[in-house]
Structure 1
Amino acid sequence: MRSHNFDSIQHGRRRLVMALPLMACGLVVAPVQAKAGVHQVSQVLMGTRVDLTLQDDDASVLPAAAHAAFAEMTRLADMMSRYRSTSVLNAINLMAGLRPVPVPAELMQVLQMARQAAQASGGQFDTTVGSLRDWNFDPEHPVIPSAQQIAAQLSLVDQEHGLVIDEGAGTAYLTKRGMRLDLGGIAKLPILQAGLRQLQRHGLANAMINGGGDVLVMGRLNGRPWRVGLRDPRHPEKVLGMVSLTQGFIAASGDYERFVMQQGKRLHHILDPRTGYPTQGPHGVTLISEQLEAINGLGTALMVAGADAGRARIARTPGVDALIVDADNSLWLSPGMASRLGRA
């Protein structure tokens, strides 16, 4: 269930074009006209472009607030990237089967979220898919592992028994040599939330953070709710509709953003921890909630579980609105999502 791998997306194709809507994995954010008190800035983080749109009566405070938000998000992304040799996460991977590694409180929180997501999904969310290390979905240098490689590495995918978290000691430990964590499907929302908290500490009440498929908002823009378009996974160049938010999180997962082609078949970046291969279920899942914990990791789990299981999971998950496009291109909206799209 690999998703949103840090630092692995080609940055050159994500240039900022302010004359066009800001498009991300599953989401489209309407452009903002230059007005007094509005500040927009972008930076590449976690292998994707992160856009901040801020508004305040005192525009002079906005650049410093944006700088603080990016500094905090960069610090956490560096901590949790498996591609950065000096990251704490990489230390856990390197010490797999050898010894526990001390982890900062922020990483411990993400690991606990990963454990909760795995338990809630019955193992369909599993951060140890990082052990399937031979996949590479870079379109310029794609790598598709052999069946033998996948079979050998699949024995290392077992978060339930293979990841030991000791909250008291503040350590994390992978029990088997060669086991690897990939936090791409669980770390980005908390990192973006940390940026939003920095903005709040600087006194801002109106902000949006758009990070490659995940959007966080608070307050309003020009006195009106923030408007975000939901991309159609069947036709990624099109928008299904707009939603309006003054607070909350939008998270999108899909098979259309990063993939390679093999013998006419599209192989995408979300891996099934049960098989070691890309998921065969929905084309895309979009979730909305006011609670980060309610949706963090859920989209990836539903991509693995399939549309039928996804609808059942959403029905028993209060406070979450969902859009699911199944493998047969059928579209399903939860009642809350249908209402949101109808009002937008």
Structure 2
Amino acid sequence: MNGASRHQATNRVDAGRRRLVQAAALGACLTAWPVAHAASGGPVRLRDSRLLMGTQVDIAAESQEAALLRPALDAAFDRMDRLSSVMSHYEPTSRVAAIGLAAGLMPVPVPPELMQVLQMAQAISRRSDGAFDVTIGSVGHWHFDPQNPHMPTPAYIARHLPNVDYRRLVLDARAGTAQLTRPGMRVDAGGIAKLYILAAGIDTLKQHGLDTALINGGGDVVAISRPAALPWRVGIRDPRAPAKLLGTLDLRHGFVASSGDYERCFVRDGRHYHHVLDPKTGYPANGPRGVTLVGGELAALNGLGAAAMVLGTDQGRELIRHTAGVEGLIAGRDGDMWITPSLRSRLMAA
């Protein structure tokens, strides 16, 4: 259990509505399911929640074989916890921290999972011309817990901003190493690691024999569903009014990923600070209120929302339009909403 909290739902839902309503981008509220109970001879369903990556992570799954569920969920949580420890820039013993400690000195061996995340980071950095930059950690640790916020001093940010440069992260996939070429540089994989870790959790569930499951972590959703099952129903928050749903959509397989200025944030001296940092300034981006993406492939959309938040509505819209297999919406700071036609056609009233 690793000291993480867990709880299980105990209420029934109608078997004909085997769907989960989840508010993408903010909430962590799942509709309740019976625990280890088959409704009308149907599949057994189980839900569990734990604290990982600084947020609540929920898994909901079902199987015809009740004995598969608990071991599968435990294994998925364990794998996500291990990957989080490897990729956290807050953890002084993580591989990400080791890359920073060796900056300007030597390459650092990294596990294959971290190599994949860093390769994804480089890919979206190139596509967005640096609007996403995994070396944003060079400007210091920001903490967006409203109860205990922390930000680097302006002098620290100004002094270290020249170290933010994704082109100085050198990856050697054959040797399995990563190197920052300038002293003082740091990696912060938070903007791209979470969705990868959630997808790894789904992969673990599949390896343990499950074919219908959903994982939500802080509003990012990953789902699989067998052909005969009803799809998952996912709620899309309205970034202009985060307490409300813009609508819902059915999801059989793939991802719903959201970024917003209302998610991890705090207010200091009358100014609103949120977790999507602009690599050009070292401060929170002044772009849209929020971006939500829907797609079937992790590599296509991972990091894309953060990049669009930095680029702004016009350039972000073009970035999404030119990404095959990805639907999306952008809520502008002026109250306007842009939605791809394919996503608009899928949205249903909440």
Normalising by structure 1, what TM-score? 0.90
Partner secondary structure for residue 142 of structure 1: coil
Partner of 1:91: 98
Task: State the one-letter code of the partner of 1:157.
Answer: V
Partner of 1:7: none
> For the Cα contact (< 8 Å) 1:282–1:325, is it kept in 2?
yes
Query: Bigger shift: 241-250 or 212-221?
Result: 212-221
Partner of 1:148: 155
Partner of 2:169: 163
- Choose the corresponding residue for 1:228, options 213, 234, 238: 234
Partner of 1:73: 80
Q: CA offsets, 1:52-86, max 9 Å, x none?
A: 00001112210011111111111111111112222
Partner of 1:32: 32
Partner of 1:102: 109
Partner of 1:131: 138
> For the Cα contact (< 8 Å) 2:9–2:33, is it kept in 1?
no
RMSD: 2.4
What is the CA–CA distance in structure 1 between the aligned matches of 2:28 and 2:51, rounded to whole Å?
Answer: 17
> For the Cα contact (< 8 Å) 1:29–1:229, is it kept in 2?
no
> For the Cα contact (< 8 Å) 1:206–1:221, is it kept in 2?
no
Check if 1:218 corresponds to 2:217. no
Q: How many residues align?
A: 332
1:232 deviates by 1.2
Task: State the one-letter code of the partner of 2:174.
Answer: G
What is the CA–CA distance in structure 1 between the aligned matches of 2:247 and 2:95, rounded to whole Å?
Answer: 40
How does 1:196-211 map onto structure 2 within 5 Å?
Answer: 196-211=202-217
Partner secondary structure for residue 113 of structure 1: helix
Structure 2 CA distance for partners of 1:23 and 1:322, relative to 1, 3 Å = closer
How does 1:284-303 map onto structure 2 within 5 Å?
Answer: 284-303=290-309
What is the CA–CA distance in structure 2 between the aligned matches of 1:251 and 1:126, rounded to whole Å?
Answer: 18
- Choose the corresponding residue for 1:113, options 117, 120, 123: 120
1:220 deviates by 5.6
- Choose the corresponding residue for 1:266, options 258, 269, 272: 272
Q: CA offsets, 1:1-21, max 9 Å, x none?
A: xxxxxxxxxx99x99888896
What is the CA–CA distance in structure 1 between the aligned matches of 2:86 and 2:221, rounded to whole Å?
Answer: 21
Check if 1:320 corresponds to 2:326. yes
Task: State the one-letter code of the partner of 1:272.
Answer: D
Partner of 2:63: 56
Partner of 2:347: 341
> For the Cα contact (< 8 Å) 1:27–1:229, is it kept in 2?
no
What is the CA–CA distance in structure 2 between the aligned matches of 1:155 and 1:301, rounded to whole Å?
Answer: 19
Q: CA offsets, 1:274-309, max 9 Å, x none?
A: 111110011100000001111000000000000111
What is the CA–CA distance in structure 1 between the aligned matches of 2:331 and 2:349, rounded to whole Å?
Answer: 21
Task: State the one-letter code of the partner of 2:305.
Answer: G
What is the CA–CA distance in structure 2 between the aligned matches of 1:204 and 1:92, rounded to whole Å?
Answer: 36
What is the CA–CA distance in structure 2 between the aligned matches of 1:197 and 1:209, rounded to whole Å?
Answer: 11
Partner secondary structure for residue 187 of structure 1: helix
| Structure 2 residues without counterparts, runs of 5 or longer | 12-19, 39-43
How does 1:234-273 map onto structure 2 within 5 Å?
Answer: 234-273=240-279
| Structure 1 residues without counterparts, runs of 5 or longer | 1-10
1:124 deviates by 0.6
Bigger RCO of structures 1 and 2 (CA < 8 A, at least 6 apart): 1
Structure 2 CA distance for partners of 1:256 and 1:221, relative to 1, 3 Å = farther
1:28 deviates by 6.5
Task: State the one-letter code of the partner of 1:112.
Answer: Q
Normalising by structure 2, what TM-score? 0.89
Structure 2 CA distance for partners of 1:17 and 1:59, relative to 1, 3 Å = closer
Partner secondary structure for residue 103 of structure 2: coil
Task: State the one-letter code of the partner of 2:74.
Answer: H
Percent identical among aligned pairs is 49
Partner of 2:17: none
What is the CA–CA distance in structure 2 between the aligned matches of 1:188 and 1:222, rounded to whole Å?
Answer: 29
1:317 deviates by 1.6
Query: Bigger shift: 327-336 or 30-39?
Result: 30-39
Query: Bigger shift: 243-252 or 14-23?
Result: 14-23
Q: CA offsets, 1:313-344, max 9 Å, x none?
A: 22222211101101112111111110110488
